[in-house]
Structure 1
């Protein structure tokens, strides 16, 4: 078991003016907390190259069925800091 206190790491500091929060997309990275280094079928090259698209499609389908909320929505062609 791994227990980590991330309250300071994920906290946002106070600001004297409005700011923009930019989130880096890192969905397809496997968790670093698994107790083994290899033998991950999702990292097998034919699967790994499609994993993010498959997971997004699965969550989209579950959202349409009302079983899981899809929090990621298409934003079109925008730069990260665009308003």
Structure 2
């Protein structure tokens, strides 16, 4: 496990949540709330709260979410 990379991704997850960019990236990729929540191992309600900035993303699921959003950002830009 790369601790530095994990911490950087956790920081990214929190930025995605605070700015609403996580929601924008998911929608731009055409993915549903349920699809992304299942992919990162959380409930749709938790993801919704993250996307709305109502909860701070934490733990391994937050890191997985940030990794997914980072990749989605790359894919959407290259279309």
Q: TM-score range by the shorter chain?
A: under 0.3
| Higher RCO (C-alpha under 8 Å, 6+ residues apart) | 2
TM-score, length-normalised on structure 1?
0.26
Tell which structure's C-alpha radius of gyration is larger.
1
TM-score, length-normalised on structure 2?
0.27
Q: Which has the higher helix share?
A: 2
